[in-house]
Amino acid sequence: MLNGDGEMPAGVSPPFFSQGGTSMIVSWMTTNQCNLNCSHCYQDAGDRRSGELSTEEGMALIGQIARAGARILIFSGGEPLMRPDIFELVEHAAKCGLRPVFGTNGTLLTKETVTRLKEAGAAAMGVSLDSLSEEKHNRFRGHADAFRLTQEGIANCREAGLPFQLHTTVMDWNREEILGLMDYAVSAGASAHYLFFLIPVGRGVFLERTALEVEEYESTLRGIMEKAAGLPIEVKPTCAPQFIRVAEELGVKTRFRRGCLAGLSYCIVSPVGKVRPCAYMTEEAGDVRDRPFDEIWRESGLFETLRSREYGGACGVCAYGDSCGGCRARAGYYHGGDILAEDSYCAYGRGRLAPAAEPSGAKATASVRVDVEGGEGCRKSGRTEC
């Protein structure tokens, strides 16, 4: 059962149990409830789910996440702003020494809400924007007024001084807009732009045909990283660990040292308390109603499997195995649940690219540590992740 008020004893620093002793990030899907009906939703969000964690259970979970050594707590969903106790939870997270950030569709970021979030201790908002075409964004998000409300939410964050970054899902229909959206992120005042590549889970299963083909995926990554090199904000392809290799091949500097973080320095907690390596993996590491989160993080057999990094197929022999690691969610989806299988979405691994020079981070042993940088610079940056 969940227990404890989550407060850290005075003078006691939380132990860091992420791979290699580096900082970790946890995303708590605080509710399944959502005011939109997005085509790609991994959570198949809509109505509030029976058995979602209560305020008391949420408070205890936050304390356990802090005790596990997490530095950043992402409040996601569903739409996290639909939880009536969200401000109370954010305030508690900040008091526990966590950096509370959000993944939100942005439509509920009214001036009053933004003010209350900032007062509660929220550090940054991650706001979804998938097209600069109002019609296309609204259709994808399943709401006739989503674009206008999201734009208002962005403006409210900017005016209140609450840092925000943009989140975009990359599909075949908006691929040609991506570079323009990166420019828009800069002009809108975003601190970063994270580009999410579709993983076919939840409602996203029905959109698999609209995901990029392998060669399109590779060329899109290259275009993004080339563009990113000339922008004053941080750009990160997400659920696309091959960006680490692409950046190195292009000579583009990035602070990121690891592609897929699932189970290494990142995991999620579902609305009902199930712990999973990432939002796109269905495998469960444990249940916080049965066992404290910090114990699950340290001792779960599922996490131990991922931390072994004993990958199969092309990922197992790839020179970028320790820096990229392939997408473990895609590996499981396309290989019958084998989360250590190769990521077949990789053109490099499938031999469709000319061999590159041996990367500077090529693995010599299986013990190369995951390096997820954070710290004071991250807290001041306005990014939702580090």
Closest listed residue to residue 318, CA positions, set 359, 258, 352: 359
What's residue 371's pLDDT? 29
- Least trusted range by pLDDT, from 136-140, 220-224, 333-337, 362-366: 362-366
Task: Please compute the mean of the pLDDT values over residues 257-280 and round it to a whole number.
Answer: 96
Instruction: Using the Cα atoms of residue 81, residue 18, residue 339 and residue 329 in order, give the sign of their dihedral.
Output: positive
What's residue 382's pLDDT? 57
DSSP symbol at 290: T
Question: Residue 87 belongs to what H/E stretch?
Answer: helix 86-95
What's residue 383's pLDDT? 57
Is the pLDDT at 46 greater than 60, yes or no?
no
Is the pLDDT at 293 greater than 70, yes or no?
yes
Read off the tokens for 231: 């922008």
The CA distance from 291 to 213, in Å, is: 41
Confidence of residue 37 (pLDDT cuts 50, 70, 90): confident
7: left (phi over 0), alpha (psi -120 to 50) or beta: beta
Question: Residue 155 belongs to what H/E stretch?
Answer: helix 146-160
Strand order in the sheet with 192-197: 234-238, 192-197, 164-170, 124-128, 99-104, 70-76, 24-29, 266-269, 274-276, 286-287
The CA distance from 32 to 323, in Å, is: 33
What's residue 81's pLDDT? 97
Confidence of residue 163 (pLDDT cuts 50, 70, 90): very high
Task: Please compute the mean of the pLDDT values over residues 110-133 and round it to a whole number.
Answer: 97
What residues have CB less than 8 Å from 112, skipping those under 6 apart?
none
Residue type, 195: L
Angle at 105 between CA 180 and CA 333, to 5 degrees: 85
Side-chain half-sphere of 384: how many Cα atoms within 13 Å? 27
Read off the tokens for 96: 């526990």
Is the pLDDT at 324 greater than 50, yes or no?
yes
What's residue 20's pLDDT? 39
Instruction: Using the Cα atoms of residue 155, residue 81, residue 72 and residue 198 in order, give the sign of their dihedral.
Output: negative
Q: What is the pTM of this model?
A: 0.84
